[in-house]
Copies of this chain bind each other. A is one copy, B any other.
Amino acid sequence: MQDALIINTRDLDFQLFEVLQAETLTRRARHADHSRETFGAALDTAHAVAVETFAPHNRLLDEHEPQFDGQRVSMPDEVKQALDALRGTGFLAAGKDYEWGGMQLPSLISFACLSLFKSANIATSSYAMLTTANANVIERFGSATQKRKYLRALFEGRAFGTMALTEPQAGSSLSDLVTTATPNDDGTYSIRGSKIFISGGDHELSENIVHLVLARIPGGPPGVKGISLFTVPKFHVNDDGSLGARNDVALAGLIHKMGWRGTTSTMLSFGEHGECVGELVGEPHHGLAYMFHMMNEARIGVGLGAVMLGYRGYLASLDYARERPQGRRPDNKNPLDPQLPLIEHADVRRMLLAQKAYVEGAYALCLYAARLVDEQHTGESDAARADAALLLDLLTPVVKSWPSQWCLEANSLAIQIHGGYGYTREYPVEQFYRDNRLNMIHEGTHGIQAIDLLGRKVVMKQGAALALLAREIRHTIDATRSHAPLHAHAQALDHAWRDLSLTVEALLPALAHETERALANANAFLEAFGHIVLAWTWLKQAIVASAALPGARDETDADFYRGKLHACQWFFRWELPRVALMLATLRSLDDTTLEMAPQWF
């Protein structure tokens, strides 16, 4: 059992440098100091820190989750030690300007580094991920004062960040938030209310915590149009950056989860004593839009976390399948022959191949999303930047939801390959499965992602995003021309996309006039759309592998490309065909769920 097998580095190189051509990013002014070597050095450092300080306490932290004694939150020392090591590398500001102490790494590379921490220890890495996402909001929308007070502390990890949206009476329904922010004479606001499920909401891992809190300024409009965003530090920050008194933010309790136990999930009380002070971010009543900047980043982060949990389980079960002897071929009844390794059994290979297809496909998707973030910021024209933003907007629900569903399935297959050992806590895979089950829920459930995709993203700007994706998919299909073994896949993808387009056309009238009916099966749309996007992602990988195979360095390298081509084939033969069924049922505007009366249950 190699507990610290956190990535297939050959695959990471393939994704970054062969598929996404990360090196071309060094041609851009912002990254001009960088090179393949500096990228490699960053990845190597992240890998070493992840393996040496994050991975070793992954199970320990699961078994000894954070405790709250009414005064303070405690957890194993290893968490702080790992985060201190992370701070030391400067990764919290990896993509930031040199002036903030950053490295000006492309998003693609810093995201790839983050993936290694997530793989090694999803719970410990969350504190860092939330901090970066929080800082990005303040950097983009905060006042000069807010930036001065918080940014450097966040980038250096002296303060950690949170996002405080959810309230007990309003889970997914943000329009029902009731936390209030009453203006004070000095321009600050008095915050009062309760938040729940706030990850990293309390701990002693950093000197301070900066909460980004959604609240209503009294007198504002009802619903989501009356929500504003505030910075609310755990400890007040003086103008010179030193810490002042404790703010009136209290930990009301920790939530105990089935997985991902090491990241505190908290109930927070703001202003129990009427003394919680917050500072408005940006304009009043525009808070939700600002927060969605963080939320979208967090959603991509959730997708990546789901991938890495899946990846970790895949590698563990691959290792196990190669080592563990068990049984013989079905046509060999001779019990005196030695047992074969599990991997020799077709059904075990199926479970490995499915995992490979899910996790490497989803990894490619998440890294592509990070590449779009780069394109959005440093793309070579306004049009290229706008296109990247549009495409990312369309794909975000898939990046969040697809890995949450299918890399969880991968974790289930990893358990299955381990047999009885798989469900024991003596082996690592059951934890990945528990950890991963949260991802279909937090930062917007599957149902929310589905409505976002079909009800908003598909129709926004008269379908411009969908048209853009269609062009990208067409490029990929065209690029298969010189790769005969991929023609059948290209045709299948083309067919699936037409099927999807017809379905969207069929749904458009209902989307305009019968929203409830049109969205009733949005979940099936999300699943079908996601599978098509993943098929596309696999075809892109297959083209690169097919082109590289004849010039492979050696047999090991050739085997790697053959594996890519074969996993692509598996996805096209065993997964993509599901899409047609879902789309047909969607086109029929099937009303089975709508018509099910509550009293019939």
List residues of A whose CB falls within 8 A of some B CB: 166, 169-173, 175-176, 196-197, 222-224, 255-259, 265, 318, 322, 325-331, 333-336, 339, 341, 343-350, 352-353, 356, 412, 415-416, 419-420, 422-426, 430, 433-434, 437-438, 440-442, 445-447, 450-451, 455, 515-516, 519-523, 556, 559-560, 562-563, 566, 569-570, 573-574, 577-578, 581, 585, 590, 592-601
Contacts and interface: CB of A to CB of B under 8 A. Distances in A.
Contact of A423 (B257, B356, B577): B257
A171 B419 CA distance: 8
* Secondary structure class of chain A's binding surface, majority of residues: helix
Contacts of A334: 223
A223 B416 contact: no
B331 A516 contact: yes
Contact of A336 (B173, B222, B331, B424): B222
A356 B596 CA distance: 12
B416 A446 contact: yes
Nearest to A343: B598
Contacts of A419: 171-172, 441, 445
Contact of A562 (B173, B451, B597): B597
A114 to B, nearest CB: 23
Most buried by B among A171, A224, A423, A434: A423
A574 B528 CA distance: 13
A281 to B, nearest CB: 22
A433 B258 CA distance: 10
Contact of A327 (B173, B356, B423): B173
27 contacts: A166-B420, A176-B339, A223-B334, A223-B335, A223-B336, A224-B335, A258-B423, A259-B423, A329-B516, A331-B516, A345-B447, A346-B594, A347-B450, A347-B451, A350-B593, A352-B596, A356-B601, A412-B440, A415-B441, A416-B447, A422-B441, A433-B437, A559-B599, A566-B595, A566-B596, A577-B581, A581-B581
A259 B437 CA distance: 14
A294 to B, nearest CB: 18
Given A330-B516, A415-B437, A445-B416, A424 B255 contact: yes
Contact of A350 (B169, B523, B578): B523
A162 to B, nearest CB: 15
Given A348-B447, A577-B585, 8 more contacts: A171-B326, A172-B419, A173-B326, A223-B334, A353-B592, A356-B601, A419-B445, A574-B585
Contacts of A176: 327, 335, 339
B447 A172 contact: no
Nearest to A345: B447
B424 A455 contact: no
A76 to B, nearest CB: 19
Contact of A594 (B173, B349, B599): B349
A24 B331 CA distance: 46
Given A327-B172, A423-B441, A577-B581, A344 B598 contact: yes
A330 B423 CA distance: 41
Nearest to A518: B330
B197 A420 contact: yes
Given A258-B434, A416-B446, A569-B592, A563 B600 contact: yes
A172 B255 CA distance: 39
A331 B172 CA distance: 16
A410 to B, nearest CB: 13
A558 B593 CA distance: 19
B258 A600 contact: no
A349 B445 contact: no
Nearest to A196: B420
